[in-house]
Amino acid sequence: MAAISKSYRTIQCLLRDASRLRANCTLRSSLGTTTSSLMLPQEQLHSPCRFYSPSSSLLKKAWDPSLDEYKYWNREESKHGEASYALDMSPESIQREARILCLAAEDDDANSPLTDPGKNLPFGSRLLHVGTQPTDFPDSLAAENPNVLFVSPSCPHARLQLPLILHKFPTIEWIHVRSAGIDFLESDELPGINKKGIIMTNAKGQFSSSLAEYVMMACSYFAKDIPQLLKQKGAKVWHDFDIEEMRGKTMGIVGYGDVGRSAAKLASIYGMKVVALRRNPEKSEMDPICDEVYGTGKLSLQKLMSVSDYVVCSAPSTIETRGMVNADAFKASKPGQVFINLGRGPVIDEDALVASLKNGQLKGAALDVFATEPLPEDHELWDIENVLISPHNMDKTSTFMHEATSFFVNENLPRFILGDTLLNHVDCTRGY
């Protein structure tokens, strides 16, 4: 029986390779490309076989672009590898070749799923070149008509280099950013990218679970008075004291995107009530996790601050959000509130935050992001006892950026090749 199964798998692989070669010829004919421009390395054509058990929904249509759940990626909830499966088993379905430029430092190991010669890229894709500025990319590459640009935060002065790369290679159709935030690309030219017909996507949904875990740790840090426990341990003092229960408390979330919702999921498991602030509150009307949703605006933010025992700020840094949580917001905050910021530092008025901590309006703050990073040694926040500081690393697992690149290679790149809707579209005008 094992021998029969092995023979069957061998036949499957032979049929797949034959299908790929046939698709290669068909695509070259339809696109008018040369053999050298489309033929992939021999090791990729003869890569080890992969086997799947397709579901009935996959056989019909793996993803429906009209549904929100398929527009954005979430590492825990989204279906993995469906487009890769479709491309691997039906290479004749290719709609276009992906010719990729990588705007990143060459020694950025987190890009290895894309740049490592030993890794097989999806059928129908080629990495043309890696560099950090236009002069790193030979002029001759223009003849290859590159249509995909992968951008890594490791590229120095990326906000300056991006417009220059797009000017040099006007055939770019799609930009993928390896991070969730795109504030490192902000420039006067950024809002015009979508108007040129160029799609931008990001790595939203890759970092949410670890940040949600940080949120609950920060809540527990103050609810269970971990600082007092550490003091008593250091002094070898046995003295019991009252702690707080998180069950029944209210968590307010400013920026109810993927990170915010992941935090809300854990908070609801703890028995907390969840209220949220988001631009389009109607999208959360049927959300079983969120108890109440407010729209954006000063009054909505103040209302959220006034009812929340814990506030989680996961909003991106944009022109609209910078300084959004200001003195008026902190004055409206519920007495004894804990403020947690894991989005972007500039969203918070740090002077107003410091004042609220000093006057006792806030019980404490847990901060993973700051207006200036690294946080200057002479900053007041270092000396405030009821502040938990982390160096913008609460999503920094040993593999988190490698996984972000793998998302590009295994999820969005096959969709581009197949002509399907890409995940995680970014509005370049809004900045997220």
Amino acid code (one letter) for 233: K
Using CA atoms, how far apart are residues 308 and 273, in angstroms rounded to an integer?
Answer: 9
Q: Which two tokens stand for residue 242?
A: 């009252």
Cα–Cα distances in angstroms (integers) from residue 98 to residues 24, 172, 419, in the given order: 13, 10, 11
Query: Looking at 96, 392, 402, 430, which residue is catalytic?
Result: 392
Q: Please work out, in degrees rounded to the nearest 5, the angle formed at the alpha carbon of residue 400 by the alpha carbons of 226 and 283.
A: 85
Cα–Cα distances in angstroms (integers) from residue 313 to residues 248, 327, 343, 387, in the given order: 20, 15, 6, 15
Query: Looking at 76, 92, 106, 373, which residue is catalytic?
Result: 373
Cα–Cα distances in angstroms (integers) from residue 128 to residues 148, 257, 405, in the given order: 10, 34, 16
Query: Looking at 20, 344, 350, 415, which residue is catalytic?
Result: 344
Q: Please work out, in degrees rounded to the nearest 5, the angle formed at the alpha carbon of residue 294 by the alpha carbons of 354 and 255.
A: 55
Query: Is 129 marked active-site?
Result: no
- DSSP letters spanning 112-179: HHHH-TTSPPPTTEEEEEEESSGGGS-GGGGGG---EEEE-TTSTTHHHHHHHHHHH-TT--EEEESS
Query: Is 278 marked active-site?
Result: no
Nearest to 141, CA basis, from 112, 170, 178, 176: 170
Query: Is 96 marked active-site?
Result: no
Q: Residues with catalytic annotation?
A: 344, 373, 392
